Amino acid sequence: MDYQKLNNALKDSCERESREFYRAIQDVERTQEEKLLTIIGDNELTLFGRRSKFEGVKSVEDFRSAVPITTYEDYEDYVTQIADGKENVLTRDKVLMLEPTSGSTSPSKFIPYTDSLKREFQQGIFPWLYDLLTNRPNVAKGSFYWSITPVTHKQERTSGGIPIGFGNDGDYFTEQQQRLIAQLSAVPFDVAKIQDIDEFRKQTLSYLVGNTELSFISVWNPTFLSLLLRPIDKPESLWPNLSLISAWADGNASFYVDELRRLFPNTEIQGKGLIATEGFVSFPLVDHAGSALSVNSHFFEFRDLDNKDNVRLAHELETGKEYEVVLTTGGGFYRYNLEDVVSVMGFKNQCPLVKFVGRNNNISDLFGEKLNEYHVSRAVSEAIRRTSLNPSFFMVAPEKIGDAPAYVLFIESDEHFDANSVVEDLDSKLQDNYHYRYCRKLGQLEKPKIFLIDKSSEKSASDIYLEENQARGKKIGNVKPATLSSQFGWSRKFKGRYVN
């Protein structure tokens, strides 16, 4: 197989979008305004466009006056109409399918996908691939393992005949690119049809072990790869030409990517940037800190964490500050608060370079304490790092133990540590949240506990966490590491004991 030739063809197919990106970052303000006005003009006569008076929107300020910042709940009625088969609801484009994802206030959200939204994703994916294949030429010398998500159930349709979920992970690419990737892939796409997870992993691993020319691995969750490779001792030795692994590396994933570095000490690991079901926010550039805002994908706004009324445009961001990301997309979500927090690392020409910090919408609220994952993640990280612990898994969730519930730090580690010290530190950091502190004073919440997960058990904590999420309908390859769960009962899922 002439992998170099195939990779060169794949790179060439991404060149146009790469050139467009580099033109765009010379004048981000103009690029973004043109993007917004195109979206508004295309959807002026939709149900949402008529209600929001899009015909009067001639500028960014007009748009911001016409449409408030929104959340998924603002779209539920529109999505229901789309699911029932009604057209011209949020977009003029026909809705190709509804992609399910987890919600913060509802069990599931259904995101409309259109041709326009697909092209917007490509405006981020293709410049990333072109940059990677250009600046890391060894990646192009061998085969790929592009994470294939197993299909855990048959594809369903809504009452109006709209497909639910992508047919396969290659749908983001053009037909030509899909043919190239199929030839480059070390694992046949048909493996995704295996519904039994153990058999899926067995078959995937068999194909990977049999392909010694592997040069590039792309997965979402780093634990997906480390768990897949657990039966192999020193996996790096199997693929001497492996040049780069692409995986989530920011936010909560930063703790789990360390395991990949241990397994592949001589292989470069590149973070993914920020990609959500609703939109494509940023992509990495070789040898740059942070990920480039995908300015040709959507119209972006950024809500200042210190002042929620201060909403900035892409060209107005400040290095070192943190913001919530707000999207307007060709999929029909307008001024949609993604509730992902990014930190601005710097700029590439006029393009912000951002780093994903955490989510602001994953909340646990039993008595009004309103703990959010962004705060909890920082509190846990500081408490753990003070002890020099390097756990293979950790998560905070509520449990009913004594007279009142307590938040429990579930941790998987075989290292010795002072549990009481970690608890005191964690409780102190959580009490930076006034509402949590008040609940503790009232006795509604007990002091945090630590549940030490048995590392010698047959299944690791990450295995169990992934399986539980899969049982709730999530794609196992797309499950993001989480520091906070609002659900009780994890002490019955994990094997282990309380240590304080």
Ranges 147-151, 174-178, 457-461, most confident: 174-178
CA proximity to 181, closest of 199, 164, 169:
169
Confidence of residue 106 (pLDDT cuts 50, 70, 90): very low
pLDDT digits (tens, 9 = 90+) for 9-48: 999 999 999 999 999 999 999 999 999 999 999 999 999 9
Query: What angle separates helix 419-430 from helix 373-386, to the nearest 10 degrees?
Result: 150
Lowest mean pLDDT among 205-214, 237-246, 277-286, 397-406: 397-406
What is residue 96's three-state secondary structure? coil
Higher pLDDT, 140 or 360: 140
Q: 176 exposed, middle or buried (CB, 10 Å; 0-12, 13-18, 19+)?
A: exposed
CA proximity to 130, closest of 285, 16, 11:
11
As a whole number, mean pLDDT of residues 242-250 equals: 94
- Give the Cα separation of 185 and 197 in Å (integer): 20
Q: Which residues contact 351 (CB under 8 A, 6 or more apart)?
A: 24, 25, 28, 292, 293, 295, 314
The reported pTM is 0.81
The length of the chain is: 500
Whole-angstrom CA distances from 150 to 62, 198, 475 are 44, 11, 7
Pairing state between β 268-271 and 244-247 = parallel
**Predicted confidence (pLDDT) at residue 412 exceeds the cutoff of 80:** yes
- Region class of 359: left (phi > 0), else alpha (psi between -120 and 50), else beta: beta
What is residue 341's three-state secondary structure? strand
List b or e across 450-484, with b for residues whose CB sees 16 or more CB atoms inside 10 angstroms: bbbbebeeeebbbbbbbebbbeeebbbbbbbbbbb
Percent of all residues in the chain with a pLDDT value above 70, rounded to a whole number:
94
Higher pLDDT, 467 or 149: 467
